[in-house]
Amino acid sequence: MFISSAFAQTAPAAASGGDFQSTLMSMLPLLLMFVVLYFVMIRPQMKKQKEHRAMIDALAKGDEVVTAGGLLGKVSKIGDAYIGIEMATGVEVQMQRSAVVQVLPKGTIK
């Protein structure tokens, strides 16, 4: 009574030559977003990780470092996975090498 009858429409015939082109054009924004994401987010993060790994591999005794927890100290022992950091005279802490965030210039800690 209140609802009118619905009639189905016939679908237009697809063009045989433009099908690939229309698919490519619909995928282009997705591909463009992935390329932008790679250059803006993924590549800089990989570069940062590479620099951090090189800094950790170059640690030597006597280097003054800042840890992830914000502690300052001098490297006193170096192992494969762990390092010893002297926080104060006679106070030494062992921690993972990856916890080192920054190597300070010599003479920063007095």
pLDDT in tens, 39-54: 999 999 999 999 999 9
Does this model's pTM top 0.75? My answer is no
Q: Return the pLDDT at 14.
A: 56
Contact 102, 69 (CB under 8 A): no
The pLDDT-based confidence of 21 (bands split at 50, 70, 90) is confident
Report d(CA 77, CA 61) in Å as an integer. Answer: 6
Q: What angle do CA 78, 81, 84 make, to 5 degrees?
A: 35
| pLDDT at position 18 over 70 | no
Query: 2.60.40, 1.10.20, 1.10.3470, 2.30.30: which CATH number matches 60-110?
Result: 2.30.30
